[in-house]
Amino acid sequence: MKRIRIDEKVLGDDLRHLARFTLPGEVKGAVSRLPWTPEDRAAVEWLRGRMEELGLVPSLDPLGNLWGVWDVDASESLVLGSHRDSVPQGGAFDGALGVMAALAVIRALRKAGHRPRHNLEVVAWNDEEGARFGTTLFGSRMYVGALTPEVVVNMRDTAGVRLADAVQAAGYDLQRMRPSATLARIAAYLELHIEQGPVLEREHQEIGIVTGVGGIIQERITLHGTRVHAAYSGGDRHDPVLAAARVLHRLAVVEADRNRMRPRAVLGVTVGRVELSSALVNVVPESVSFTVDSRAPDPRDALAALESLHEELAAVSTSGGLSMKTAPLNDHTTLAGAGVRTEPIRFNADLGAVIRHVSHDLGYRAIDLPSWAGHDAMALGPRVPTAMIFVPSVRGLSHTPSEFTSDLDAGRGANVLLHTLLALDAAP
Ligand SMILES: [Zn+2]
């Protein structure tokens, strides 16, 4: 029997088309599709049409998640998807691949005349990145009931717009946002995604079977000193910038050592934003704030890294006459699903075994690896059997216009998604 295959050219064209729905005037190749915006609304309308062409019944739920359902009147559904939002000036693959590949799977099944035994559902989750309001995994966490409107109602974006107002302007009602009853019929959730790291490419692998998602802790650290003129010389300046630089340099040394020793099981600490209380050439700023993002396959390692950073900062602050403050940036208990101080999310091992078998059967080189980034699958994982498939992103780049995955690699991932779905659909 001839094996059903994904049309990778159509999948690639779909990805390029979806990338057109972006904030106008962005740099070439950049995708900025933030939640509750006209760009997102336009993307939804296009996706809805694409779903209809494939005979799916589209519907936008009260949380802003777009669903396309192939209802065969079964009691259980198999769900494929990912998110449709991007970060500002992100790329065309993060999230988008999982959505368009899900539609490519349906296309292949229709073409082959397959009659599924389960209902098949495609989902394009809303606001996974949390790039606008800090509401990471908004659509999927709301869907499973891990996030409630009360928590997010007063959050503001950088322009000062309240989430409640943005939601209303986009035609939604925060009061109607509640967990969905359709969760109960999901027999499995499968998400294809780009790796967002260099492991697959570096190891010449084509498919990643994602074992789980590590813990992520984010916080803002502020060092307070004394604002003085550059003319104030001598050893008794309380300079927060130099103190922060000293600690971050130390952090860089520790990270480099660790990566040398364990290149695959690394622990990542990232300083992504640094802000000074003043921006004058001839003034020592009164304070410096910086964000720290600490992540590891085992969240206890992420926490330990952050705690050792705190110790170094406290020592430098004391000796430099500075004060230090820390504030959490994410909700540690819900972002990591089961809580950052507990075990990380592990995806369903039986589904992982199916993906492994399917990958080998298709002749693809595949390895197991953990995810370093958060995904909607994290929200689903504790509630329904969940698995993720990674394909390489060139040079491990993501969240940048340079993000790139070839049609061939995207097609391989979609073929694995397709045949995993078929295996699950065939099982009683
Ligand atoms: Zn993503």
Among all chains, which residue has been given the structure tokens 């009931």? 145
Distance from the alpha carbon of residue 130 to the mean position of ligand 1, in angstroms: 11
Q: Is 3 helix (H, G, I), strand (E, B) or coil?
A: coil
Distance from the alpha carbon of residue 309 to the mean position of ligand 1, in angstroms: 28
The beta-strand segments (E) located in 62-106 are 66-70, 77-83
Mean pLDDT lowest for which of 68-77, 114-123, 238-247?
Answer: 238-247
Could you read off the pLDDT of 52-99 as tens digits, one per residue? 999 999 999 999 999 999 999 999 999 999 999 999 999 999 999 999
* DSSP code of residue 4: P
Distance from the alpha carbon of residue 413 to the mean position of ligand 1, in angstroms: 15
Q: Is 421 exposed, middle or buried (0-12, 13-18, 19+ CB in 10 A)?
A: buried
pLDDT (0 to 100) of residue 341? 33
Report d(CA 388, CA 208) in Å as an integer.
Answer: 8
- In this prediction, residue 271 has a pLDDT band, given cuts at 50, 70 and 90, of confident
pTM (predicted TM-score): 0.83
Encoded tokens for 4: 């059903």
pLDDT (0 to 100) of residue 132? 87
Nearest to 163 by CA among 128, 181, 138: 138
Distance from the alpha carbon of residue 100 to the mean position of ligand 1, in angstroms: 13
286 close to 311: Cβ distance less than 8 angstroms: no
- In this prediction, residue 263 has a pLDDT band, given cuts at 50, 70 and 90, of low
Fold for domain 215-335?
A: Alpha-Beta Plaits (3.30.70)
Strand partners, 216: 295
Rounded average pLDDT over 148-154 = 86
φ, ψ (nearest 5 deg) of residue 92: -95, 5
Do the domains spanning 8-214+344-426 and 215-335 agree at the CATH topology level? no
Distance from the alpha carbon of residue 264 to the mean position of ligand 1, in angstroms: 21
345 close to 212: Cβ distance less than 8 angstroms: yes
- In this prediction, residue 267 has a pLDDT band, given cuts at 50, 70 and 90, of low
pLDDT (0 to 100) of residue 264? 54
Rounded average pLDDT over 384-398 = 96
Q: Strand 228-229 to strand 283-284: parallel, antiparallel, or no bridges (unpaired)?
A: antiparallel
CB atoms within 5 A of ion ligand 1 belong to: 94-95
N- to C-terminal Cα distance for the chain?
Answer: 22
Sign of CA dihedral 9, 13, 16, 19: negative
Fold for domain 8-214+344-426?
A: Aminopeptidase (3.40.630)
The structural domains of the chain, with segments of one domain joined by +, span 8-214+344-426, 215-335
pLDDT over 90 (residue 158): no
Among all chains, which residue has been given the structure tokens 């504030």? 327
Report d(CA 273, CA 12) in Å as an integer.
Answer: 34
Report d(CA 351, CA 269) in Å as an integer.
Answer: 31
b/e sequence 141-164, b meaning 16+ C-beta within 10 Å: bbbbebbebeebeebebeeeeebb
pLDDT over 50 (residue 336): no
Rounded average pLDDT over 155-171 = 90
